[in-house]
Amino acid sequence: MAHVPTPSAPRTQAPADAPADLGAPALGPLDGRYRASVAPLAEHLSEAALNRRRIHVEVEWLVHLGTRDVVPGVRRLTGEEIALLRRLPVGFDAAAVAELAEIERETVHDVKAVEYWVKRRLAGTSLEDVAELVHLFCTSEDVNNLSYALMVRDAVQQVWLPAAHAVADDVARMARELRELPMLARTHGQPATPTTLGKELAVLAHRLRRQLARVDAAEFLGKFNGATGTYAAHATAVPGTDWPAVSREFVTGLGLTWNPLTTQIESHDWQAELYADVARFGRVLHNLCTDVWTYISYGYFAQVRGQGTVGSSTMPHKVNPIRFENAEANLEVSQALFRVLEETLTTSRLQRDLTDSSMQRNIGVAFGHSLLALENVRKGLAGLDANPAALAADLDATWEVLGEAVQSVMRVHGLPNPYERLKDLTRGRRVDAAAMREFVAGLGLPAAEAERLAALTPGSYTGVAAQLVDVLDQRS
């Protein structure tokens, strides 16, 4: 398979989609306050990126026709001509954006404008004689679906996934560092069997990585089969060609998975699957934010680095957990958008309607808010230090959580009514070390068992929590 270069925005000038007036007010926060944080996505998911990809697809289709003897009478393109064509999307700069917009004002059709823009570039070159092959047999959706698939693939693989994996790795690293640090668990908000802070972070890291494995394995589908998916124009104009085979070679040559059976549009099911997985990752990350926020409120974490100097405009002592709160809000926006993308894109009336066209223009916004959340979580985690004294104080104040351990040993040794006796001792009251040890001493357990229970503390009653962190280093 020939190498197909991936077009990207020029690096030596302003972004291709930069507004003419850089001082103009932005309607949304992603293009205003948070522009720097989401700028890497603009290279892949902006309006300019969409048109750059459309040019890329039009060019590669012309190269395909000019190198595969698909259409009788079409001459072979030279290496220099192919190189010229492939420079078109790479050089799609701010001036080209403006020119394309001018053409679209005349055509009132975005893909037709791209076709005319490409043809302009062939005028006066050795490719002028093949200019009418641009967009041959193409419906707009042949170009659009491949463009979106390439855009989303690169945005996910080059921008979103590295950022998401970095967050999961940060959580996993914290889990390893804090694997041995005992912590009072809370089920239903009430004191429960102790765990370790590292183990609880490991649970979240493991959940995040499971969702990322699904995104890592995502398929990006494409189709290239004409106005209603029948190759009708193709087969009528050139009846002797195996057009499904040509389509498959072209789509897979772009690095996508070929969808052999569609209407005018590619069905977008792959997008719905991807967005559901990204949104589910976001729900887990949201859970991490709320848990870490709560641990901060308990004093288990101190916010000590990189949080800025002002926590409250009036209360000097405060350092607010704003990174996690900001992440929560952005995750909620992104998940709502991913959810509506998933629900809308899987439905198209009969062979085609335009709901998907409008909806797909919000893909970048959904990923933008998600990426912004990832940045905030990383910054928030980087500013935390565990506070062992606060964790130890909570544990020492809740000796009643050892009731589970004591009644379990009593059951093993056949003592009567173990649950009921521990319930009477611990339910609705605080039990200190002396009271618990006195109770154990009066049970009549074998000496070795009584001694072992007497030595047990809330801080040492963590089972194999620390060892469970090692699951993060296991490869399935």
In the predicted model, is pLDDT for residue 18 greater than 60? no
pLDDT in tens, 53-103: 999 999 999 999 999 989 999 999 999 999 999 999 999 999 999 999 999
Residue 318: pLDDT above 70? no
Across 111-133, b (16+ Cβ under 10 Å) vs e yields: bebbbbbbbebbeeeebeebbeb
Instruction: Quote the pTM value.
Output: 0.90
Average pLDDT over residues 454-459: 96
**pLDDT higher than 70, residue 259:** yes
Tens digits of residue pLDDT in 133-155: 999 999 999 999 999 999 999 99
pLDDT of residue 428: 83
Residue 382's alpha-carbon distances to 297, 376, 385, 445, in angstroms, are 17, 10, 8, 48
**Predicted pLDDT at 10:** 47
Contact 319, 303 (CB under 8 A): yes
Which residue carries 């009418």 as its tokens? 132
397 contacts: CB under 8 Å, gap ≥ 6: 430
| pLDDT for 426 | 85
- Assess if CATH 2.60.120.10 describes domain 399-457: no
pLDDT band with cut points at 50, 70 and 90 for residue 23: low
For residue 354, pLDDT beyond 70: yes
Annotation marks residue 348 as catalytic = no
Question: Is residue 295 over pLDDT 50?
Answer: yes
| Residues 408-447 pLDDT 10s | 999 999 999 989 998 888 888 888 999 999 999 999 899 9
Predicted pLDDT of residue 306: 55
Chain mean pLDDT for the chain: 91
Cα-based distances in Å from 412 to 319, 402, 405, 446:
49, 16, 11, 12
CA–CA gap between residue 363 and residue 377 (Å, rounded): 21
Distance CA 377, CA 227 (A): 45
Query: Of 316-330, 374-388, 454-468, where does mean pLDDT reach its minimum?
Result: 316-330
The pair of three-digit structure tokens given for residue 78, joined into one six-digit string: 């030279």
20 pLDDT more than 50: no
Confidence band of 170 (pLDDT split at 50, 70, 90): very high
pLDDT band at 352 (very low <50, low <70, confident <90, very high): confident
pLDDT at 16: 37
Catalytic option among 109, 126, 297, 312: 312
Q: Where are the domains of the chain?
A: 30-138, 152-231+261-388, 399-457
CATH class of residue range 30-138:
mainly alpha
Helices (H) and strands (E) in the chain, counts: 20, 6
Residue 4 clears pLDDT 90, i.e. is over it: no
Percent of the chain with pLDDT over 90: 82
pLDDT confidence tier of residue 12, bands split at 50, 70 and 90: very low
| Residue 405 vs residues 184, 199, 450, 463: alpha-carbon distances, Å | 15, 19, 12, 10
188 is catalytic: yes
The answer to whether residues 151 and 49 touch, using CB atoms and an 8 Å cutoff, is yes
- Report pLDDT digits (tens) over 378-395: 999 999 999 999 999 999
The listed CATH number (1.20.200.10, 3.40.50.20, 3.40.1160.10, 3.30.2320.80) that belongs to domain 152-231+261-388: 1.20.200.10
Query: Mean pLDDT across the stretch 334-354?
Result: 92
List 188, 317, 358, 476, catalytic entry: 188
Per-residue model confidence as pLDDT tens digits over 175-206: 999 999 999 999 999 999 999 999 999 999 99
- Asked whether 98 and 109 are in contact (CB, 8 A), the reply is no
**13 pLDDT higher than 60:** no
Q: Which of the four pLDDT bands, split at 50, 70 and 90, describes residue 353?
A: confident
How much is the pLDDT for 317? 58
pLDDT band of 1, cuts 50, 70, 90:
very low
**Which one-letter DSSP state was computed for residue 158?**
I
Across the range 265-289, mean pLDDT stands at 97
pLDDT (tens digit per residue) in 232-253: 999 999 998 999 999 999 999 9
SS3 for 370-439 is HHHHHHHHHHHHHCEEECHHHHHHHHHCCHHHHHHHHHHHHHHCCCCCHHHHHHHHHCCCCCCHHHHHHH
